[in-house]
Every structure is written in structure tokens, then in C-alpha cells.
A = this chain, B = another copy of it.
Amino acid sequence: MDARNPLNIGAAARAMSNFGFQHLRVVNPYDVAFQGARSAVGAAEVLARAEKYETVAEAIADCSLVVGTTAIGHRDLQHSLQRLEAGAPLIRAHLASGGGACALLFGSEKFGLSNKDMSHCHWLMHIPTREEHFSMNLGQAVAVCLYELMRDPGAMPESKQGTPASSAEVERITETLLTALRASGYPKLNSSDSFEGAVRRLVRRLDLQTGDAEFLLGMLRQMVWKMKTKE
């Protein structure tokens, strides 16, 4: 990372800490920026371990894969360029194969990586932003790249919390709702034979959980009691 802004160094470190990446290497930072970054929320450990280098070549010397990040469209690229979604699996495959360390190289927010920086890269990667506004905040770009690297493509939606209400519970609600409607003098109740069926279907569409079914049944019973008491 070639960064002159303490906010950006700190933000990058924080995203690394959030997503479990430990080795921050900073190329040629202004000392004031590097010191200023050390207050970044929750990233103290990453920043304390951060290493300073004079050149990109030294920073990546022990890495067997070097991937540069770039915004699309701002120059003619001499490299193969991957969208982030497609590049991340290549990086994971490299790491999984025991192929050695991978460096992810970020340029300054304003100018990006220089052509010389890029010449150290095996290939480049870009975040799929809108063409009309491709320049991202550096800390946000780091967060998005690291998230993509550790996201779990197999994560499945969690089902609703709790247990679905049984048919008996759902039917008790239906009956109690119909009782409440009768007690309230709800007009449609007698005007249509199919009304009871419509109420039954409505209650089933609510897709109630056991706890919620009991909660709702208690409310309805209270209302029934109140209405019958007033009669």
C-alpha cells in the first residue's frame, strides 16, 4: 500500500482486522501519515505489526503472486485484468495450492498504482464499479477486496428463527379470529359462504412461528373476552 493519508492507512488496517488479514506493508509513507494512522479503531494490532518499505520491489520480495488493484478506464493497461469476483478465486487457488504468499497491491487514492508499480504485478484486478464513477475511496476498496477474498459462496440463508406453528395452532388462531369477527359484528361474515375459507387462507399466509402464534392467540382471546363482556 502506497498511502499518504493517515485516514486511509487506518481504514485499510481496520478492514484487514475485520476480515482477518494480518500483514500490512506500507511503501514509503510520510511518517506523519503512518503515525496518525495508529489511532484507527480496533486496528491497533495490524498497525503495530505493519512494516515499512522503501520500494514496492522490497515490499513484495517474498511473495510468489502479486496482484495489483486498479480502477477501470483510466489508462491503457499492459496486464491481464480480472474483475474482483473472478480474480479472488485465482488468489484463493494460489494460496490453497501452497504456492506461497500473495501480495495485494493498492496505489494512492488519487493516482492509483504507477506503471512501474504495476510492472511488479502478475496481473491486475478491478472492483466492478459504474464506469461513470469508478474512483473508490481507498479504505472502501480494501474492505471490498478483502471481503470478496474471504466470503463464503456456500453460505445458506438461515430459516426463520423458531419452529413453524403446527396446523392445530394455526387452526386455533383461525377459529379465534372468526369468533372475534362474529363478536365484533364484522359485516362480511354472513354475506359470503367463502369468507371463512378466505380467513383460513389469510392466517396460513402469515407463516407463523410457534411463539408468535401463541402471542397472537392471546391478543385475540383478550379481544373476544372484552367484546363479549360488553354485550
Contact = CB atoms under 8 A, between A and B. Distances in A.
A14 interface: yes
Interface size class of A (residues with CB under 8 A): 35 or more
A18 interface: yes
Contacts of A20: 130
A51 to B, nearest CB: 20
A159 B80 CA distance: 8
Contacts of A18: 127, 129-130, 133-136, 140
Interface in A131-178: 133-137, 139-141, 143-144, 147-148, 150-153, 155-161
Contact of A137 (B15, B87, B135, B144): B15
Contact of A128 (B134, B152, B158): B152
B83 A140 contact: no
A147 B90 CA distance: 19
Contacts of A11: 137, 140
A139 to B, nearest CB: 6
Given A140-B143, A160-B80, A153 B41 contact: no
Interface in A40-97: 41-43, 79-87, 89-90
A19 interface: yes
Contact of A90 (B15, B42, B128, B157): B157
Given A14-B136, A20-B130, 19 more contacts: A17-B130, A18-B129, A18-B140, A19-B130, A42-B133, A85-B152, A85-B153, A86-B155, A89-B157, A127-B147, A128-B150, A128-B152, A128-B155, A137-B143, A140-B140, A140-B143, A141-B143, A143-B144, A144-B144
